[in-house]
Amino acid sequence: MSTESLARNVKNQHLLTVALFQDEVDSVTTRELFDIDYGYKRFLANPKWFFGANAEYFKDKLLGVDPRITAGAGLGYRFWDNSLGSLTVELGGSAVYEDIVTGSETNPAARWALAYRRLLVGEQLEFFHRHQILKILDSSRGEVLDSSTGLAFLFDEWWSSTIRADLRHQTKPPLGSHKTDIAYAIGVDVRF
């Protein structure tokens, strides 16, 4: 299950995503992931620039992360945002608390984020891509990449259908854990 909620006005934007994935093959659990991610943007007097804040709770027992809690803030830039699409980038700092196989620790991190969307084919098809890279400054932890890429088919101003791929990658996961997890999803969207 994956849900996403976006609320915005001229000065503020709130994005909340929740993902819960659990797979079992022949009575063996092959995936057990829970992720809540909240992002806030406050556009400044110059509407190209914004202040951003984010918080995430991530738990994946099979990956050896139980949990990872991240909170941070930064500054972002909006290249464009119009009826055909948008592009924003964000750079900031975060604090990352992790309870992993080797113990729990809190580390500083640098965070880079990008969000892109573009209407195609007579404004009935939308391409979107979002990613964030978290560089945990403890050299033994490496980087964490989260991304969502997909297409939304716009039926009318209210309804659309989405196909997407969500990727999570750690360059240095806990010993015995896999580096990459990909989930594919098809869904229905309501816009109001």
Q: What is the pLDDT of residues 2-36, one digit of tens each?
A: 888 989 888 999 999 998 887 777 777 767 888 99
User: Measured on CA atoms in the order 178, 68, 33, 169, is the torsion positive or negative?
Assistant: negative
Q: What is the CATH number of domain 2-190?
A: 2.40.160.40
23, 39, 132 from 15: Cα distances, Å: 26, 5, 14
What pTM, to 2 d.p., does this model score? 0.83
Which residues fall within 8 angstroms of residue 142, CB to CB, at 6 or more apart? 136, 170, 171, 172
Domain ranges of the chain: 2-190
Q: What is the pLDDT of residues 55-76, one digit of tens each?
A: 999 888 777 778 889 999 999 9
Which residues fall within 8 angstroms of residue 180, CB to CB, at 6 or more apart? 167, 168, 169
